[in-house]
Amino acid sequence: VCIHRVRSCSSIRFIKSKYVCVFDKSALKFSHQQRLFRTSAVSCGQIVQFKLSDIGEGITEVTVKEWYIKEGDSVSQFDSICEVQSDKASVTITSRYDGIIRKLHYNLDEIACVGKPLVDIEIDASKGVAPEEDVVETPPMSHEEHTHQEIKGHKTLATPAVRRLAMENNIKLSEVVGTGKDNRILKEDILNYLAKQTGAILPPSPKAEIIPPLPKSETVPAAPKDKARKIPVPVSRPIVFSGKDKTEPITGFHKAMVKTMSAALKIPHFGYCDEIDLTQLVQLREELKPLAQIRGVKLSFMPFFIKAASLGLLQYPILNASLDESCQNVTYKASHNIGVAMDTEQGLIVPNVKNVQVCSVFEIASELNRLQSLGSAGQLGTNDLTGGTFTLSNIGTIGGTYAKPVILPPEVAIGALGKIQVLPRFNGKGEVFKAQIMNVSWSADHRIIDGATMARFSNLWKSYLENPASMLLDLK
Amino acid sequence: MVLQSLLKNCLQLSCILRTPKAGFRSTTSGGLIIQSTSSDVYQNLAVEDWILDHMNLENRQVLFLWRNSPAVVIGRHQNPWQECNLRLLRQKNIKLARRRSGGGTVYHDLGNINLTFFTTRKKYERMENLKLVVKALKALRPQLDVHVTDRYDILLDGQYKISGTAAKLGRTTAYHHCTLLCNADKFVLSSVLKSPYKGLKSNATPSVPASVKNLFEEDPSLTCEMLLDAIAEEYATQHQIDRHITLINPADETVLPGINNKTEELETWEWVYGKTPKFSVSTCFNMVYKDSFLDVKVDMDVKHGRIEVCNIDLPEQWLPPALCSELVKSLTGSKFCPNETTTLATMLLRVCPQDNELHSRWNLLWENMVMLM
């Protein structure tokens, strides 16, 4: 459509004045055409060569380091066009005009000369721009004069692109809070304003006419759009939102996740959930925390969960196994390398604590500290991230009760721990007491693990945690 | 140095900053000296951005004084892999920042002071600013042999660089900033600013290495505070303003609305690494596996910090071909970053055949690949 307009414009350039009169009258009847003809009738797509302005200090040449736009993009006044560098100075070149970029005169890393054309811009509407003016010399206020609007005596600063957006959405600029320089209204401000208006009926505007920049000889009487505005009340208007969908390719980390998770879901999962009363463990941890602190280690609940899991795996080694690809052989892993799911900036990573079966709770806590600090610094190595045989995911630190965790191949089981909640429970005497309750959700590979095995393992794990003293009997 | 109470400073500053025209009319000053209370390099760089975007410097100039905890700061159009030892930075927890001005790479710590001279674009004049600094230094210690070169460096004793310069020009405002070595850790400086990465080819602005010296080495009685004071005094004299320094907190949204967004942007991976101009890596490394020595050749094109094209030449059959192509496919499009690469490698291992031999070969290869990043 743009290109078509340009071509048709160039052919009528010589009969410009005649067309102005004709098109303006018809424009009044059809609001959508109003815009089309307004822009083309008056300026006829004048291409202006935007020259590289003076950098100062007598510099004549700069290197173009980055383009922020490409040919065909539309720009508004003050949008950044490119970044150039000269002798340790980096300069952002901004557009003096609204329009469409038609030509870039330089490629990246080429030398551009001050005073020579940098880009060609096809100008949007009649602005009366003098192409020779130096962007730098002119103080800011004169650029903005033609973008001022007098609405109820208020001067609102906004570029023509922003004003058009406001007009399309029937927004009064005086009602929008500007967050740009000098309280200038930016595109984001209009979009924020719109977002707040969702569901609300836009009030009819009695007086304010947003005057399009036509030559002064023509006035704009009310178009049918204005008549609709004057009808008071609940005609709910469709809210116009100018946001765009954004598509980007899946790369790197996410690509790997896609692969891993697709493989994981080939495993037939079954779930088993339960509720654990951690009242005693909470108390125990409170007592042990300062002791660990003295030894320089931060003690959370995880080391207990991990050690209890390992004790359970000693009784039910099938949960610490691996099924080969052809499902012909099961390998029972000797080491309990228990993985702990961690949420980082990048996403999910699962470092593991090696040989939990021979580690004390304190050693596990210390190792966890090390993995956590490396994890948050993004410095975990391949050794820490591979070789896991069983995984625990403490999603409860973020929230939630029950979950449906996905097994991480080549493992065969995984447990998700919900948050610890204080809930009322009955004790043996039938009295209500305050209990610290946490939910666990196990998933296991149903090809080699059956429900009974999972249930018994879970019960054993639960008993160790509900009565921590019993762990002492079986600790190796 | 006269330090007014923080509250009064903020009020005064917020008046000046928010209604610049009103500020200009009401104060008699043609200048303002501000000092950051933070040593976070990203916050301080964000202040520079903020002033560039929001202040009207028509009849006023601003001097901004700041210091950072250990950080390496690269220029707008530079390549961090080419400029510094990223591995060492990560180990020592030294931050990496990319500033918006041009120029080369510098190392900051609390023994280095940073000065930013803000003016309108018309009044942008680096030589004058540097001469001001030299004048201040000579006023403080007349025996100091310091002078400005035509590369906008300040040299001590005719040969040691004590200050580097860079500048940024916006639409109507500009700034020129420079460092000044008072008592920085030269040992760390030289070790972090040496890149171990081989085979890099790029059009990024290269740094010009120079021998450096601390002013403290020349005169042990000098401290950063003394230097800051002397420069503020000289600036105040030359601009005929009151010699007091307004403190600003770069995290304070009431004084600097929108500053935290600017700080966040400067911290993103997309800005620090992603803004690296396109470059290629062409190198080979040796791996020792059991009793054999293996040569691996790697060619990669990196654009916006991500691997666009990747070619790895391994000895034949060392890894199954399916795995090799999986390797290349997953690297393509991922960040040129050891953390991302390691995570990728370990995740992919889960869907490989579970063979210990294979796993150790895979891990060995990935560990070496990560060394390139």
| Inter-chain residue contact B350 with A409, CB threshold 8 Å | yes
- Tell me how many residue pairs between chain A and chain B have CB atoms under 8 A apart: 159
pLDDT tens digit sequence for A9-35: 444 344 444 443 444 444 444 444 444
Cβ pair A182, A175 in contact under 8 A: no
Q: How far is CA B190 from CA A204, B5, B99, B107, in A?
A: 67, 39, 20, 9
| Inter-chain residue contact A251 with B332, CB threshold 8 Å | yes
Give the burial class of B189: count Cβ atoms within 10 A of its Cβ; 0-12 exposed, 13-18 middle, 19 or more buried. Answer: buried
Terminal CA-to-CA distance of chain B, rounded, Å? Answer: 46
Q: Above 50 in pLDDT, residue A413?
A: yes
Per-residue confidence (pLDDT) for residue A450, from 0 to 100: 93
Chain B residue numbers with beta carbons less than 8 Å from the beta carbon of A134 are: none
Chain A residue numbers with beta carbons less than 8 Å from the beta carbon of B333 are: 249, 251-252, 255
Q: Would you please indicate which residues of A are annotated as catalytic (active-site) residues? A: 446, 450
Which of B53, B52, B44, B49 minimizes the C-alpha distance to B73?
Answer: B44
Nearest-CA distance from A230 to chain B in Å?
38
Nearest-CA distance from A281 to chain B in Å?
34
pLDDT tens digit sequence for A232-250: 666 677 777 778 888 888 8
Statement: the pTM of the whole predicted model exceeds 0.80: no
Q: Above 60 in pLDDT, residue A36?
A: no
Range in A31-35, A301-305, A348-352, B26-30 with the lowest mean pLDDT: A31-35
Cβ pair B264, B271 in contact under 8 A: no
Per-residue confidence (pLDDT) for residue A430, from 0 to 100: 94
Count CB-CB contacts under 10 A for residue B22: 11
Give the burial class of A289: count Cβ atoms within 10 A of its Cβ; 0-12 exposed, 13-18 middle, 19 or more buried. Answer: middle
Q: Above 70 in pLDDT, residue A317?
A: yes
| Inter-chain residue contact A90 with B102, CB threshold 8 Å | yes
Q: Which residues of chain B have pLDDT under 70?
A: 1-29
Pick from B101, B350, B363: CB nearest A408: B350
Per-residue confidence (pLDDT) for residue A338, from 0 to 100: 96
Chain B residue numbers with beta carbons less than 8 Å from the beta carbon of A325 are: 353-354
Helices A31-43 and A16-27: angle between axes, nearest 10 degrees: 170
**What CA–CA distance (Å, rounded) separates A328 from A305?**
32
CA A129 to chain centre: 39
Chain A residue numbers with beta carbons less than 8 Å from the beta carbon of B104 are: 88
Per-residue confidence (pLDDT) for residue B234, from 0 to 100: 92
**What CA–CA distance (Å, rounded) separates A383 from B66?**
41
Which of B58, B124, B115 minimizes the C-alpha distance to A89?
Answer: B124
Select from B256, B350, B368 the residue whose CB has the most chain A CBs within 10 Å, as the one to mutate to test that interface. Answer: B350
Q: What is the 3-state secondary structure (H, E, C) of chain B?
A: CECCCHHHHHHHHHHHHHCHHHHHHHCCCCEEEEEECCCCHHHHHHHHHHHHHHCCCCCCEEEEEECCCCEEEECCCCCHHHHCCHHHHHHCCCEEEECCCCCCCEEECCCEEEEEEEEECCCCCHHHHHHHHHHHHHHHCCCCCEEECCCCCEEECCCEEEECEEEEECCCEEEEEEEEECCCCHHHHHHHCCCCCCCEEECCCCCCCCCECCHHHHCCCCCHHHHHHHHHHHHHHHHCCCCECEEECCCCCCCCCCHHHHHHHHHCHHHHCCCCCCEEEEEEEEEEECCEEEEEEEEEEEECCEEEEEEEECCCCCCCHHHHHHHHHHHCCCECCHHHHHHHHHHHHCCCCCCHHHHHHHHHHHHHHHHCC
Cβ within 8 Å of residue B128, ≥6 positions away: none
Handedness of CA B325, B330, B336, B338 (dihedral sign): negative
**What CA–CA distance (Å, rounded) separates B201 from B279?**
6
Chain B residue numbers with beta carbons less than 8 Å from the beta carbon of A83 are: 76-77
Average pLDDT of the segment spanning A420-440: 94
**What CA–CA distance (Å, rounded) separates B123 from A97?**
24
Cβ within 8 Å of residue B279, ≥6 positions away: B79, B81, B82, B200, B201, B202, B203, B204, B301, B302
| Inter-chain residue contact B346 with A385, CB threshold 8 Å | yes
Nearest-CA distance from B125 to chain A in Å?
7
Per-residue confidence (pLDDT) for residue A128, from 0 to 100: 47
CA A268 to chain centre: 33
Per-residue confidence (pLDDT) for residue A194, from 0 to 100: 64
Pick from B152, B335, B339: CB nearest A88: B152
Give the burial class of B165: count Cβ atoms within 10 A of its Cβ; 0-12 exposed, 13-18 middle, 19 or more buried. Answer: buried
Give the burial class of A131: count Cβ atoms within 10 A of its Cβ; 0-12 exposed, 13-18 middle, 19 or more buried. Answer: middle
Partners of A428 in the beta sheet?
A: none
Q: Above 90 in pLDDT, residue A452?
A: yes
Looking at per-residue pLDDT, the higher value among A20 and A163 belongs to A163
Select from B339, B352, B367 the residue whose CB has the most chain A CBs within 10 Å, as the one to mutate to test that interface. Answer: B339
Cβ pair B20, B172 in contact under 8 A: no
**What CA–CA distance (Å, rounded) separates A445 from A435?**
32
Partners of B181 in the beta sheet?
A: B112
Most confident of A67-71, A74-78, B32-36, B327-331: B32-36
Strands B61-66, B31-36: pairing is parallel
Which pair of structure tokens corresponds to residue A163? 């004003």
**What CA–CA distance (Å, rounded) separates B319 from B359?**
10
A-contacting residues in B 161-180 (Cβ below 8 Å)? 165-172, 174, 176
Select from B128, B169, B300, B330 the residue whose CB has the most chain A CBs within 10 Å, as the one to mutate to test that interface. Answer: B169
Chain A residue numbers with beta carbons less than 8 Å from the beta carbon of B353 are: 325
Cβ pair B109, B185 in contact under 8 A: yes
| Inter-chain residue contact A408 with B75, CB threshold 8 Å | no
| Inter-chain residue contact B333 with A249, CB threshold 8 Å | yes
Chain B residue numbers with beta carbons less than 8 Å from the beta carbon of A347 are: 343
**What CA–CA distance (Å, rounded) separates B209 from B216?**
21
Nearest-CA distance from B330 to chain A in Å?
6
A-contacting residues in B 86-145 (Cβ below 8 Å)? 90, 93, 100-104, 121-122, 124-126
Does residue B334 sit at the A interface (CB-CB below 8 Å)? yes
Average pLDDT of the segment spanning A261-267: 91
pLDDT tens digit sequence for B326-346: 888 888 888 998 888 888 888
Nearest-CA distance from A55 to chain B in Å?
8
Cβ pair B148, B134 in contact under 8 A: yes
Does residue B363 sit at the A interface (CB-CB below 8 Å)? yes
